[in-house]
Structure 1
Amino acid sequence: MVKIAFIGAGSHTFTRTLVRDVLSFPTLQDSTLSLMDIDADRLERIETATRTLVDGNDLPATVEATTDRREALEGADYVITMIHVGGTEPVRNEIEIPRRYGVEQSVGDTLGPGGVFRATRTIPTMLDIARDMEELCPDAPLLQHTNPMAMVCWALEAETEIDVYGICHSIVGTAHAIASYVDVPFEELEYWVAGINHMAWFLDIGHEGRDLYPDLEEAMTDPEIYARDVVRFETMDHFGRFITESSHHLSEYLPYFRHEQAEIDRLVDASAYDPDREAFEYSPVCWLPTGEYFDQWSEIDHADQFDPGEVDTSLERSGEYAARIVHSLETGESRRMNLNVPNDGRLITNLPDDAIVEVPCHVDATGVHPCSVGDLPPQLAALNRTNVNVQSLAVDAALERDEDALRRAVKLDPLAGAVCTLEEIDGMVDDLLKANAEYLPEFA
C-alpha cells in the first residue's frame, strides 16, 4: 500500500483524472489517497467525487481529505502538486496589463510577463511544500504539474534535496496530433523528443522504421491540416522540426507571431478551417474579452452545481504520466516518457548546465533515468536558449526577491522585446508590481 498526497486537490477536474489513473492500475487500488487543498469547499467536493469513484468500483483504497498540508505529506510515498497561487485576480492582471503595452499573450502561464510574475508568486509556496517534504517524506518524489513548469522545477532543484520530476502532457497531445496529420495510428507512432517544456522538438518521427517528416511536410500543404496548426507548421517550415506546444500557446514564446495586430489577424484568418480559430487570438483557458472565463473560474465546482450521482466512475486511463510513474516505480514495469529534469550539462549538451530540460526518461523500479540527447540542431537550441534566459533570471528574482532580476527577465522575453522599448517594459513591470502587491509583498 502506498500513500499519494495530492497538493492542490481542489483542481477538481485534474485531480479526478489523476485519481482515476491511479485506481486504473489493480496494484495501486489499495493506495491511500490524501487530498489536500486550502479551499475547504473545493476539498469537500473532490473528496466526495473521489469516494464516489472508489465506492462505485468497490475498491480498497483509503481516501483522506485535509486542509493541513503537513498532515497530507506525513509519510507520503509520492507527492503530486497542481497548485495555483492567488486566484483569478493576479492572472487577470498578468494578461490585461501587458496588453496595454502591446504584449498580446495568449495564455501567459509559461513565459512572458505573465509567466515571470506567475513564477515569482508561485515559487515561494512550492518551496514551502518541498521543505515540508524534506522533513515529513524526504524520500518521496515530487511529481510536479504546476506552471510555469521549468521555472518552478528549477527553483526546487536549486534550493531543496527533493527529487522533482516536472510532468506535462504536451508531448503526448502533440504526438496524437501528428499521428492524425500523417494518418498513422497513434499507438504505432515512433518519436524522439527533447528540448524544454512547451518548446521541445520532435527530433525524429517514424512508423515501422520509416521517416515520417516527408509525410508531415506534405500534410502541411493540405489547407485544412495547415489551418489546424498554423504556427507550428510555420515554425517547422523555417526551423526544420515540429514543436510540442499548441499553435496559440507557442506563438507567445517567439517574437515572430504576435508582435502586431496585422500578423495576429493573418494567423487567425489562416486558421479559418479551425472551429476554434478564436482561440488563437485569446485562449479560452486564459482570457476572454467579456470576462466569461474568469467568471466561470470563480464559480466552477460551486456546491449547488455538483451532483455526486453524475460522477463518472469508469476507470479509463488518461494520457497523463503521474500514475504511470508511480506504477513503474512500484512494480518495475519499464516505461519511457518525457519528463522535465535538470540538464546537469550532460543531457542536452548545447543548453545551459543548470537549465530544466524535457527529455526522454526510462522509469522502472530502480528509479527515473534521463536519456542523454547530445546537441540539439543549433537553430533549435538557439530558440530554446531565448526562453531559458528568461527562466534563469525569473528564478533568481523569485529566490532572491530581486527586482532587478525580475525586470531583466521581462526585458529578455522574446515577445515583450518585440513590441516594447526598455522604458515601456519598466512601466509595465511597475504596473504589474502595483496591481499584484498583495501577492508579492517582498517587492512592495
Structure 2
Amino acid sequence: MSFKIAIIGAGSVGFTKKLFTDILCVPEFKDIEFALTDVSEHNLAMIKAILDRIVEANRLPTRVTATTNRREALEGARYIISCVRVGGLEAYADDIRIPLKYGIDQCVGDTICAGGILYGQRNIPVILDFCRDIREVADTNAKFLNYANPMAMNTWAAIEYGKVDTVGLCHGVQHGAEQIAEVLGAKSPKELDYVCSGINHQTWFIELRLNARPIGKDELVAAFEAHPVYSKQEKLRIDVLKRFGVYSTESNGHLSEYLPWYRKRPEEITRWIDMSDWIHGETGGYLRYSTETRNWFETEYPQFLEAASKPIDPAKRSNEHASHILEALETNRVYRGHFNVKNDGVITNLPQDAIIESPGFVDRFGINMAAGITLPEACAATCMSSINVQRMSVHAAISGDIDLLKLAVLHDPLVGAVSTPEEVWQMVDEMVVAQAQWLPQYAHAVPAAKERLSKSRVKTREWAGAARRSVRSIEELRAERAALKQAG
C-alpha cells in the first residue's frame, strides 16, 4: 500500500515517534509517506532525524518529509493526525498560574476548568485552519485524527464548523483497563472485557467482565483498596467508585479537576491526592512534567537518536488507537476501541450534539459506533455539567464573544465551587490579555479588558497551590533515574 499521512504538531517528538513506529508495525504500511509539519523548525529537524534513523536501521522504503508549510504537508494526505499545543508551555504556564491567583488549583488544566477552556480558545481557530486546508488540498476522503486536548472541544469544532471527517483519540480508557486488570489479578489486560462510555476524560466502566465473569462494584472496590499502590494513588477515584458505583477511566489528578467536590478547599486537596507522581493530583503537575520532559529531551537528544537505530519490534506496538484504526480501514482487519465522535444516538441520555467517547468497531466501511447506551444517572449528570461548558466554550471560540467565554468559565464545576462571578470576570480578562497573541478572535476585546483590569478592585493572591513542586534540574532527573535503575 502507498498513501500519505500528515502529522501536524510533529515536534511533539516522543509522541510522534510512538505513532510512527506503531504504524510501521503494520506489514502493509512499509511503503507509505509521512509528512511532518510544525511551527518549530528546531523540533522538526530533531524528529525527522530520529525517524530517518528508524527507516535506515530497519531498511524500509518509507518516506519522511518535514516542512513548516502546513498546506504542503497536507497536500494529498489520506490521514491527518494532530497533536498540537497552541501557545506551547508559555501559554500553558498562564493556564495554571493565573487561575491560582483566584484560588483555582488545577492538576492538568487541559480539558475543562479555567485552563482547559482557555486552551480550547487558542486551539479552535487553528483547528479550523487545519480543516480548511484539509478540505482544499488533502485527499477527497481524508480522515482527521485529533489527539490534541481539549479533546471534546477540538473535535466538536472540527466536526461542526470545520466540516471534516474527524475522530478524537485518547488513551485514558486503555490505561484504566490496565489498572482494573491488575487489581483483579488478571494475567493480561486481554482477559478483561469492558464497555466504557461517557465523554473524554469522564468515561465510565459501565460493564466489566473478567474471563466472561461479571465484576460488580463491591468486588472492584475491595480489589482497589487492597492494592498496595493504587489504594494510595487513586483515593479520589476510589471514592467516586464507591459513590457512583462505576470506575472512571481518568487518573486521580485529572478527575479531581472535573468535579466540584475535591479541590474546592486547599486543606481538602492534600487529603485526596498523592504526590508520588504528578498524575495523582499535584498542583500544576502536568506543566512541571512537560517542562522537565522538554528539558530532558533537549539535553539527552543524542541518546534518543542512538536509540532510534534499534529494530522495530511489533510486539511492542502500543495501544494508541491511530495505527489500529488505519490498519482496520486499509486492510479490513476489524478493530474495537473507544472513540470520540458526535453523539447522534450513541448515548441515549446525553445531548445529541455533544462529543462523546464510547465503543466502536473499525473496518473498511469506517468507524461504526455501538448505539443505544444509557449511562448511570450520576455519570450522565456529571458529564452534562462538562458538556454545557464545552458547548459554550466552542461557541465563544468561534464567535470571539468574551461575555460568552466568561459564562462558560463561570459554569465550570470546579471554578463555580471556588470563585465568585466578579472573580471569574476579572480572571478571564486577565487570561485573555496575557494570551492575546494566541487569541486573534478576541483582539477587539483586549483593550476593554485591559481598561477593566486597571480599575478592578477584586483581590487576588500570589499562591503556588496546595501541592506544588518545583521543576527538577537535569542533574536531579539523572540522579533519580540512576537510583531507580539501581533499585531494580
CA distance in 2, matches of 1:414, 1:51: 46
Residue of structure 2 aligned with 1:256, choices 239, 257, 261: 261
Instruction: Specify the alignment match of 2:224 in structure 1.
Output: 220
1:199-278 matches, within 5 Å, as 199-213=202-216, 214-222=218-226, 224=228, 225-268=230-273, 271=274, 275-276=276-277
Alpha-carbon shift at residue 192 of structure 1 (Å): 0.5
The yes-or-no answer on 1:305 pairing with 2:308 is no
Alpha-carbon shift at residue 300 of structure 1 (Å): 5.4
Instruction: Specify the alignment match of 1:195 in structure 2.
Output: 198
CA distance in 2, matches of 1:220, 1:335: 29
Query: Contact 1:195–1:357 (CA<8 Å) still a contact in 2?
Result: yes
Higher mean displacement: 147-156 or 36-45: 36-45
1:151-208 deviation line (CA, Å, top 9, x unaligned): 0010111112211000000000110011111111211100011000000010001112
Instruction: Specify the alignment match of 2:98 in structure 1.
Output: 97
Residue type of the alignment partner of 1:347: V
CA distance in 1, matches of 2:194, 2:284: 28
1:16-415 matches, within 5 Å, as 16-137=17-138, 138-184=140-186, 185-213=188-216, 214-222=218-226, 224=228, 225-268=230-273, 271=274, 275-276=276-277, 279-287=280-288, 294=291, 297=294, 299=295, 301-302=297-298, 305-307=301-303, 308-311=305-308, 312-315=310-313, 316-344=316-344, 346-415=345-414
Secondary structure of 1:131 counterpart: helix
CA distance in 2, matches of 1:245, 1:337: 16
CA distance in 2, matches of 1:112, 1:93: 13
Higher mean displacement: 365-374 or 254-263: 365-374
Query: Contact 1:195–1:359 (CA<8 Å) still a contact in 2?
Result: yes
Unaligned runs of 5+ in 2: 447-488
Higher mean displacement: 205-214 or 85-94: 205-214
1:363-414 deviation line (CA, Å, top 9, x unaligned): 0011111111432111110010011011000000111111111001100000
Alpha-carbon shift at residue 313 of structure 1 (Å): 4.0
Instruction: Specify the alignment match of 2:455 in structure 1.
Output: none
Secondary structure of 1:425 counterpart: helix
Alpha-carbon shift at residue 324 of structure 1 (Å): 0.6
Alpha-carbon shift at residue 252 of structure 1 (Å): 0.2
Unaligned runs of 5+ in 1: none
Alpha-carbon shift at residue 59 of structure 1 (Å): 1.2
- The alignment's C-alpha RMSD in Å is 1.7
Query: Contact 1:264–1:281 (CA<8 Å) still a contact in 2?
Result: no
CA distance in 2, matches of 1:279, 1:175: 17
Alpha-carbon shift at residue 90 of structure 1 (Å): 1.2
Query: Contact 1:36–1:69 (CA<8 Å) still a contact in 2?
Result: yes
Q: Percent identity?
A: 38
Query: Contact 1:5–1:72 (CA<8 Å) still a contact in 2?
Result: yes
1:30-58 deviation line (CA, Å, top 9, x unaligned): 11111111211111111111011111111
CA distance in 1, matches of 2:260, 2:227: 24
CA distance in 2, matches of 1:248, 1:232: 9
1:209-229 deviation line (CA, Å, top 9, x unaligned): 211224312113326332131
TM-score (structure 1 length as normaliser): 0.94
| Count of residue correspondences | 434
Query: Contact 1:95–1:287 (CA<8 Å) still a contact in 2?
Result: no
Q: Is the alpha carbon distance of 1:194 and 1:164 closer, same or farther for their aligned partners in structure 2, counting shifts above 3 Å?
A: same
